[in-house]
Chain A
Amino acid sequence: EVQMVESGGGLIQPGGSLRLSCAVSGFTVSSNAMSWVRQAPGKGLEYVSLMYFGEHTNYADSVKGRFTISIDSSKNTLYLQMNSLRAEDTAVYYCARESVVGISGMDYWGQGTLVTVSA
């Protein structure tokens, strides 16, 4: 059975940092394309970042230079390091899996973790 459990969200002041985690069981993180997708309160889905083949990464323009996606294969866990946080980063952050990047769709999602950036 596939499980994806996010953690690390919370209330943080503008300019602060947080690290989100997505602990996975049921498949190997480094063998799949792993994304972070966020959803601001009452808003739609927004792509944040992607890692595939365990090393290739890309980012939405809105987070480029501030966020870093990574994987710990020994823990089968996906991370999102978020620095220089802004109010507009407030959202539920989901991790999602795609077995073939750009083709097979995001078929497994975590339950999400809420990040609130506020003074």
Chain B
Amino acid sequence: QAGLTQPPSVSKGVGQTATLTCTGNSNNVGYQGAAWLQQHQGLPPKLLSYRNNNRPSGISERVSASRSGNIASLTIAGLQPEDEADYYCSAWDSSLSIWVFGGGTKLTVL
């Protein structure tokens, strides 16, 4: 079962804006968008957004998500040191009826 494609790493400075991408197909990302998860070392994942730009309560407004066709994006504005983490996209695959994940992007905040 093929997964979603994410760049392995992104580096940005404190206060800058990072945009992470996630490429799927019409059965997953293009179907009803992506969810984004943040994972710090040694901890379980944390949901940042779902169905493109819905944020659970407690998630910073610095985080926003979008989709264009089969590509989903997560934007984190005003980067802080605590934003340094691994970020995973996930999407429901309508043809397989399963969740598919991206390989993750390691965000480094310089």
B47:A105 contact, CB within 8 angstroms: yes
A102 at the interface (CB under 8 A from B): yes
Kindly state the separation between the CA atoms of A23 and B35 in the bound complex, as whole angstroms.
Answer: 25
Chain B residue at minimum C-beta to C-beta distance from A105: B50
Kindly state the separation between the CA atoms of A102 and B99 in the bound complex, as whole angstroms.
Answer: 7
B14 to chain A, nearest CB (A): 26
What bracket does the count of chain B residues touching chain A fall in? 20 to 34
A68 to chain B, nearest CB (A): 16
Stretch among B16-24, B67-75, B100-108 lining the A interface: B100-108
A109:B44 contact, CB within 8 angstroms: yes
A72 at the interface (CB under 8 A from B): no
5 tightest A-B CB contacts, nearest first: A105-B50, A102-B92, A105-B35, A109-B44, A44-B104
Point out residues on A near B: beta carbons under 8 Å. Answer: 35, 37, 44-47, 50, 58-61, 94, 96, 101-107, 109-112
Point out residues on B near A: beta carbons under 8 Å. Answer: 1, 32, 35, 37, 39, 44-47, 49-51, 54, 56, 86, 88, 90, 92, 94, 96-104
